[in-house]
Amino acid sequence: MNDKPEKLIDKKGVRLDGRKPDELRPIKIDVGVLSNADGSAYIEHGKNKILAGAYGPREVHPKHLALQDRMLLRCRYHMAPFSVQERKSPAPSRREVELSKVIRESLEPSIFMEYYPRTALDVFVEVLQADGGTRCASITAAALAVADAGIPMRDIVVACAAGKVEDTIVLDLMDEEDKLGSADVPLALMPNLNAVTLLQMDGILTVEEFEQAVNLAIEGCKKISAIQKETLKAKYVDVKEVEE
């Protein structure tokens, strides 16, 4: 593990990786990356590298889990053993079970579950490289994988965190800020409906700081949402040769 840096943010408001407090890490998204999945997405969010695959709607196994009036959404978040500095056991950890639930609950409000009774939609998230904020990047990728599978949705969920390092509220914490900072507020949003589908807080903030962090996270979500939509549209752009 690296030694603790002296300061996470300097007097001029420059963070360890050179970002300003309200700046996102570089983000790159791809859709349709897995040919065996019904829908898929790959995201690079800073140093995070995450793959999401959506399978369904399909028959439910075991059958007794099927819901008579709506689709069953199952999500699995998994971190590859090589995704972090210290080897992560491939067996599901408590944290992974929690994050699987968090991802499912973030996506569920956006999907027209009632359109597909007695079926299942399975969403698998594989974290290949982790650098803080993997739950948010996973939600962003998982929502795109579901959209890519052609499942009708009210909106495409997008997620981003804000938090506090030293005395400053900052956007999109990377690993060091996440671990050494004093608070982290991950938020998932349906940007067109302006509805929050996930709000968590790790650490302590005053009411004013919390409001500031939530607003900053929403701004971050909106920026990522634009990249998400551009990526999805680009897949369906018809490339035609223009004859002179």
Window contacting ligand UDP (CB under 6 A); options: 57-65, 115-123, 128-136, 211-219: 128-136
Task: Compute how many other C-beta atoms are within 10 angstroms of the C-beta atom of residue 134.
Answer: 26
Plot region of 132 (φ>0 → left; ψ -120 to 50 → alpha; else → beta): left
3-class DSSP state of 155: coil
Token pair in block for residue 43? 């995201």
In the region spanning residues 159 to 198, those forming contacts with ligand UDP, defined by CB under 6 A, are: 175, 178
Task: Count the residues of the shown chain that bind ligand UDP, applying the rule CB under 6 A.
Answer: 11
User: Is 131 a binder of ligand UDP (CB under 6 A)?
Assistant: yes
Half-sphere exposure of 232 (CA within 13 A, CB side): 20
User: Is 123 a binder of ligand UDP (CB under 6 A)?
Assistant: no
Residue type, 90: P
* Spatial CA neighbour of 24 closest among 199, 227, 202: 227
CB nearer ligand UDP, residue 204 or residue 234: 204
User: Is 24 a binder of ligand UDP (CB under 6 A)?
Assistant: no
**Cα distance between residue 182 and residue 209, in whole Å:** 12
How near is the Cβ of 101 to ligand UDP at its closest, in Å?
A: 13
User: Is 132 a binder of ligand UDP (CB under 6 A)?
Assistant: yes
CB nearer ligand UDP, residue 113 or residue 138: 138
In the region spanning residues 91 to 120, those forming contacts with ligand UDP, defined by CB under 6 A, are: 95
User: Is 88 a binder of ligand UDP (CB under 6 A)?
Assistant: yes
CA distances from 176 to 1, 81, 119, 214, 244 (A): 10, 20, 41, 20, 55
Can the peptide bond before residue 152 be classed as cis, meaning omega within 30 degrees of 0? no
How near is the Cβ of 129 to ligand UDP at its closest, in Å?
A: 9
User: Is 130 a binder of ligand UDP (CB under 6 A)?
Assistant: yes
Window contacting ligand UDP (CB under 6 A); options: 53-61, 129-137, 141-149, 213-221: 129-137
Footprint of ligand UDP (CB under 6 A): 84, 88, 95, 130-135, 175, 178
